[in-house]
């Protein structure tokens, strides 16, 4: 008698979505200071737009290329849109974290 946990396909999709969201958040937390370090001396005005664009593109690619995130496998455009939104949310969370770290909890 084997004791294997079997997850239904909707449960596996939920775990995969959570994992991809976590990967996006970790990537955003590492990419924002890296982007700022590279562009700080040359082009300070491009730090935020470049960071947001990269996160949106990476989110769209991750979400649309990982199999099993949707119940409809032929709907890549919808998955890319959801990934872009996820990348944008991860970028916003990273910006909030670094704003809080730089300014403290009392605000600017």
Whether this prediction's pTM lies above 0.85 is answered by: no
Domain ranges of the chain: 10-95
Q: What is the Cα–Cα distance from 45 to 39, expressed in whole angstroms? A: 9
pLDDT by position in tens, the chain (length 108): 454 556 555 566 667 778 888 999 999 999 999 998 988 888 888 999 999 999 999 999 988 877 666 666 667 788 888 889 999 999 999 999 998 888 877 655
Q: Which residues contact 4 (CB under 8 A, 6 or more apart)?
A: none
The answer to whether 62 and 23 are in contact (CB under 8 A) is yes
Using only C-alpha atoms, what is the Rg of the chain?
Answer: 17
């Amino acid at each position: 008698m084997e004791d294997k946990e079997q997850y239904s396909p909707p449960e596996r999709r939920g775990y995969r979505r959570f994992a991809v969201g976590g990967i996006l958040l970790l990537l955003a937390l590492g990419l924002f200071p890296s982007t700022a370090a590279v562009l700080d001396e040359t082009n300070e005005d491009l730090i935020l737009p470049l960071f947001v664009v990269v996160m949106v593109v990476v989110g769209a690619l991750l979400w649309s290329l990982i199999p099993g995130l949707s119940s409809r496998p032929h709907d890549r455009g919808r998955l890319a849109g959801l990934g872009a939104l996820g990348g944008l949310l991860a970028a916003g969370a990273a910006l909030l974290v670094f704003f809080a770290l730089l300014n403290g909890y009392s605000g600017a």
